[in-house]
Structure 1
Amino acid sequence: MVRLIKPDTSFKSEFLDMISEWKESGEELIPWSLNFNTTDFNEMVEKINGYSNGIGLKDGFVECSTYWLINENNKILGAIDIRHRLNEKLLYRGGHIGYGIRPSERKKGYATQMLSLALNICKTIGIPKVLITCDKNNIGSSKVILNNGGILDSEEIENGEVFQRYWIDLS
């Protein structure tokens, strides 16, 4: 059984373990909220949680709620960011949701479960239609989106890379 939790300082060692594993893999940390400086962990958690209320947002950013996916043993399996609304940039690429599962926990169905849980939160926030984008070569992510009712809207090219835009209707 997995569940989403808001970032919490009591999960410091679990979070740092996940970040360390990710960095050792050499892969990009996704979603973007995993890239914050963890030197002052309490401050980082406060900053991330403040974004959901629009506190401390930089220009061009929108309100965003971050959740960590944990299992029954309180191991952090991944993270997901839910943007409450879209600006012009996010409407093109980025969308409402960004997510990632730590390397050792992939291909176990966790991303599909995490996105499903996040879509319930989107309904609560009042987002009737969710945009999610992913690189075309990220077959795993596109399957996760399709498994949650995503419908391919378009394929676009940015910096020579093809990415896909999917919509999920929650109404």
Structure 2
Amino acid sequence: MNVVPALVDPTTSVHASFLAAMEEFRAEGRGGPGDYTMIGHDLRTYATTWQTPEGFAAYVASLLADRLEETPRPRGFVPATTLWYVEGTTYLGRLAIRHRLTPALRERGGHIGYDVRPSARRRGYATAMLREALPIARQLGIDRALVMCDVDNEASRKVIVANGGVLEGERGGNLHFWVPTG
């Protein structure tokens, strides 16, 4: 039976593959003090604890809790639904849907952010991930999702455009696109 990649809730079943993926991200320079991405944040915050099954389970639980409005979070942060793109027990990437925009997210971050592990790039996974996430964003009450990429990230620009993204403009080194969710 062939296993098809799919967006799923974070799960402990991909622990070993997830750790390998995080090492791939780290090898390309992610996780340093200037990396303000979700991968960078998670590498700095959780890498010392997610090695153990218990630590990884706690990390997964924190991601699942983050989608709830009542979960405590730092000032300026909003609920976010994190989903992982997996094939069987192989972690391929992650995607987060922020439930609403703040002034800061309007400038950097937007509604949806995604990452594909380096060894799984150039296979159409990012395009598929974003396509699968748009109906979920719609269910969260987001009619148009703000999705951004660095001006020099041609691959991400193509992913966004392939999913119906319409360029709003460039600000702060980021291209801002609005993507219909329905």
Structure 1 equivalent of residue 5 of structure 2: 2
Deviates more, 1:129-138 or 1:28-37: 28-37
Deviation of 1:10 after TM superposition, in Å, equals 2.4
For residues 68-126 of structure 1, the C-alpha deviation after alignment (integer angstroms, 9 at most, x for no partner) is 1012x321110001001111111122100110100011111000000001112111212
For residues 34-87 of structure 1, the C-alpha deviation after alignment (integer angstroms, 9 at most, x for no partner) is 43404121211111111100313111000001011012x321110001001111
Residue pairs, 1:22-37, within 5 angstroms: 22-27=25-30, 32=38, 34-35=42-43, 36-37=45-46
Q: Please list every run of 5 or more consecutive structure 1 residues that lacks an aligned counterpart in the other structure.
A: none
Residues 137 and 128 (structure 1), Cα distance of their counterparts in 2 relative to 1, 3 Å cut: same
Structure 1 equivalent of residue 175 of structure 2: 164
Amino acid at match of 2:38: W
Residues 137 and 100 (structure 1), Cα distance of their counterparts in 2 relative to 1, 3 Å cut: same
Structure 2 equivalent of residue 136 of structure 1: 151
Give the distance between the partners of 1:92 and 1:21, measured in 2 at CA.
Answer: 28
TM-score of the two chains, using structure 2 as the length reference: 0.85
Amino acid at match of 1:153: E
- Matched-pair identity in %: 36
Q: Please list every run of 5 or more consecutive structure 2 residues that lacks an aligned counterpart in the other structure.
A: 50-54
Q: 3-state SS of the aligned residue for 1:95?
A: coil
2:24 matched to 1:21?
yes
Q: 3-state SS of the aligned residue for 1:19?
A: helix
Give the length in aligned residue pairs.
Answer: 166
Residue pairs, 1:61-72, within 5 angstroms: 61-71=77-87
Contact 1:80 1:100 in 2 (8 A): yes
Q: CA RMSD in A?
A: 1.7
Structure 2 equivalent of residue 56 of structure 1: 72
2:169 matched to 1:154?
yes
Contact 1:131 1:167 in 2 (8 A): yes
Structure 2 equivalent of residue 108 of structure 1: 123
